[in-house]
């Protein structure tokens, strides 16, 4: 590692999706003030969409050239490609749902699309980074973008309040993560995950390493909204614009779970089992109980996302061979159903996000049968009903946990799934069994939203009927990850 060495061309391919996203993001930012005020929304959205599609292609191209890059800062393997694909696809779908939303809410700001792309850069980088400080920077790129996105309905007081809460608690958590990184650096003399793993596997584990892991877990646990670090979630989800919530409840979470998988399994983090056991059990229980009493659909889905973070963490307590693929499958299917659900919510919300309570959903089955049916599919998937992705996601996680003899945790998880069914069914009952209310109008779905919903419904059903392909890919990448 001499200072004068230049990276090879292939190493640039290994950060190609990030490069593509950054260039398109900057293009959106620069073009925003230059082009016509009234037309720019859609044009900029189109550029951003093009950028995310280009990033998907770059990811597929990149998968041909696995290996380390930039002095072992990043590493492209099947694992990172999986998360790159997930993040860029979610980005594209969120941009599709945003077109209409921005017009209805009368938000004129091209940097919205730029920020989504920059956020995606951070998330992609998180999944391929194998160096703790680079992970920290990537985490901040994605977090800072989402802080701003959360406050995008600037005229609404709750939106800026949500942004403020997210920002304050988010940077608080980041400081914990960074302190963990510092202690890990002190314990092992390196911030490279592979070196840390070697040190931790050979001989005695320094006390500092335990403290470092615990602090990093606090920081990352906050970002995925796992209990007891979940307090911010319902508030931020309620105040932030709905497409943004769809974005930040899936893509950054997937990326942070990728980081957690690398730190917990690849670095062979000491003492992880109890940490995760307690957090998973708490998240599932608090999330589901909290969701029972909510009247606001966005808050309800926020609590549900806490519960889902809990189910996902169950996989982390399992053995690597079963746990990693289960967790990867879960992030993919959760992303599909949650982005879809929030796309429907953002369409129903209408100007000023007025219609977001459970009451407003009454009779939707009659007023807008197709959209109601779509939302029903996502909700059934969130419950975990067979032939949807949510079923196999839960199934793989719990069977991985059973293989690791975590019977107690599995029992808590299954009980929680039963509780969870109640509040998701409440929305479905509202939509189909109640009389429609006059006040809440349902405009016809525009083309962007239709495309987004078709994609997410397809993904949800596909993962529910033919989970084999994705699971097999995930298992292969997990084996690759553990071999390193």
Partner 1 sequence: MPQNYVPIFIFVALIGVLIPVTLLAAKLVRPDNPNKTKLMPYECGIDPVDHARGRYTVRFYIVAILFVVFDVETIFLFPWAVKFKALGVFGLIEILIFLVILIVGYIWIWKKGALEWV
Partner 2 sequence: MVPLSYYLVLSGILFACGVLGFLIKRNIITIFMSIELMLNGVNLSFVAFAAQWHALSGQVFVFFVMVVAAAESAVGLAIIIAVYRTRQTLNVDQINLLKL
Binding site for partner 1 (CB under 8 A): 3-4, 6, 26, 29-30, 32-34
Asked if 163 interacts with partner 2 (CB under 8 A), we say: yes
Q: How far is the CB of 82 from partner 2 (least distance, A)?
A: 27
DSSP 381-428: HHHT-TTSHHHHHHHHHHHHHHHTT-HHHHHHHHHHHHHHHHHHHHHH
Q: Which stretch binds partner 2 (CB under 8 A): 76-84, 119-127, 165-173, 438-446?
A: 165-173
Asked if 158 interacts with partner 2 (CB under 8 A), we say: yes
Asked if 133 interacts with partner 2 (CB under 8 A), we say: yes
Q: How far apart are CA 481 and CA 214, in angstroms?
A: 22
Q: Which does 158 bind (CB under 5 to 8 A by kind): partner 1, partner 2, none?
A: partner 2
Q: Which does 282 bind (CB under 5 to 8 A by kind): partner 1, partner 2, none?
A: none
Asked if 140 interacts with partner 2 (CB under 8 A), we say: yes
CA distances from 191 to 86, 187, 411 (A): 26, 10, 37
Q: How far apart are CA 257 and CA 82, in angstroms?
A: 12
Judged by beta carbon, residue 349 or residue 406, the one nearer partner 2 is 349
**Eight-class DSSP state of 192:** B
Q: How far apart are CA 127 and CA 50, in angstroms?
A: 22
Kindly give, in sequence order, each residue whose CB lies less than 8 Å from that of residue 436, ignoring residues fewer than 6 positions away: 362, 363, 364, 366, 367
Among 32, 77, 100, 238, binds partner 2 (CB under 8 A): 238
* Residue 124 near residue 87, CB atoms below 8 Å: yes
Asked if 217 interacts with partner 2 (CB under 8 A), we say: no
Site for partner 2 in 330-359 (CB under 8 A): none
Instruction: Tell me how far apart the 2 most distant CA atoms of the chain are, in Å.
Output: 72
Helix, strand or coil for residue 305? helix
Residue with tokens 């982390």: 316
Q: How far is the CB of 46 from partner 1 (least distance, A)?
A: 19
Q: Which does 32 bind (CB under 5 to 8 A by kind): partner 1, partner 2, none?
A: partner 1
Q: Which does 19 bind (CB under 5 to 8 A by kind): partner 2, partner 1, none?
A: none
Give the binding site for partner 2 (CB under 8 A): 133, 136-137, 140, 144, 147-148, 151, 154-158, 160-165, 167-168, 171-172, 174-175, 178-179, 182-183, 185-186, 189-191, 231, 234-235, 238-239
């Amino acid at each position: 590692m001499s200072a004068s060495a230049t990276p090879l061309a292939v190493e640039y391919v290994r950060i190609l999706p990030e490069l593509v996203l950054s260039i398109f993001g900057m293009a959106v930012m620069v073009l925003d003030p230059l082009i016509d005020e009234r037309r720019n929304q859609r044009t900029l959205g189109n550029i951003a969409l093009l950028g995310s599609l280009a990033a998907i292609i770059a990811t597929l191209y990149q998968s041909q050239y696995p290996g380390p890059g930039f002095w072992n800062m990043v590493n492209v393997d099947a694992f990172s490609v999986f998360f790159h694909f997930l993040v860029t696809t979610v980005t594209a779908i969120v941009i599709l749902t945003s077109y209409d939303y921005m017009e209805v809410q009368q938000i004129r700001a091209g940097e919205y699309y730029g920020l989504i792309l920059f956020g995606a850069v951070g998330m992609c980088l998180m999944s391929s980074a194998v160096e703790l400080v680079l992970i920290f920077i990537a985490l901040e790129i994605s977090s800072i973008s989402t802080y701003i996105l959360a406050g995008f309905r600037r005229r609404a007081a709750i939106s800026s309040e949500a942004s403020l809460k997210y920002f304050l608690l988010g940077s608080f958590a980041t400081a914990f993560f960074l302190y963990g990184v510092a202690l890990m650096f002190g314990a092992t003399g390196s911030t490279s995950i592979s070196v840390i793993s070697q040190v931790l596997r050979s001989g005695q584990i320094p006390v500092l390493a335990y403290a470092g892991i615990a602090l990093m877990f606090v920081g990352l646990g906050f970002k995925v909204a796992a209990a007891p670090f979940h307090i911010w979630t319902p508030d931020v989800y309620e105040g932030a614009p709905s497409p943004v919530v769809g974005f930040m409840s899936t893509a950054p979470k997937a990326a942070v779970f990728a980081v957690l998988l690398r730190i917990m399994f690849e670095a062979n983090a000491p003492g992880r089992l109890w940490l995760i056991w307690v957090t998973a059990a708490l998240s599932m229980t608090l999330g589901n109980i909290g969701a029972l009493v909510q009247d606001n659909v966005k808050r309800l889905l926020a609590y549900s996302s806490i519960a889902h973070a809990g189910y996902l963490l169950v996989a982390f307590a399992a053995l690597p061979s079963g746990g990693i693929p289960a967790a990867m499958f879960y992030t993919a299917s959760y992303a599909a159903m949650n982005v879809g659900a929030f796309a429907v919510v953002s369409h129903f919300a209408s100007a000023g996000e007025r219609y977001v309570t459970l009451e407003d959903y009454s009779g939707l089955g009659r007023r807008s049968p197709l959209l109601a049916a779509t939302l029903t599919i996502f909700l059934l998937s969130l419950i975990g009903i067979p032939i949807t992705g949510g079923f196999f996601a839960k199934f793989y996680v719990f069977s991985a946990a059973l293989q690791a003899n975590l019977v107690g945790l599995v029992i808590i998880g299954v009980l929680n799934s039963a509780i969870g069914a109640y509040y998701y069914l409440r929305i479905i009952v509202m939509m189909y069994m109640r009389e429609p209310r006059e006040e809440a109008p349902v405009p016809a779905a525009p083309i962007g939203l239709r495309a987004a919903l078709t994609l997410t419904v397809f993904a949800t059903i596909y993962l529910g009927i033919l989970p084999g392909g994705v699971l097999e890919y995930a298992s292969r990448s997990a084996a690759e990850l553990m071999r390193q």
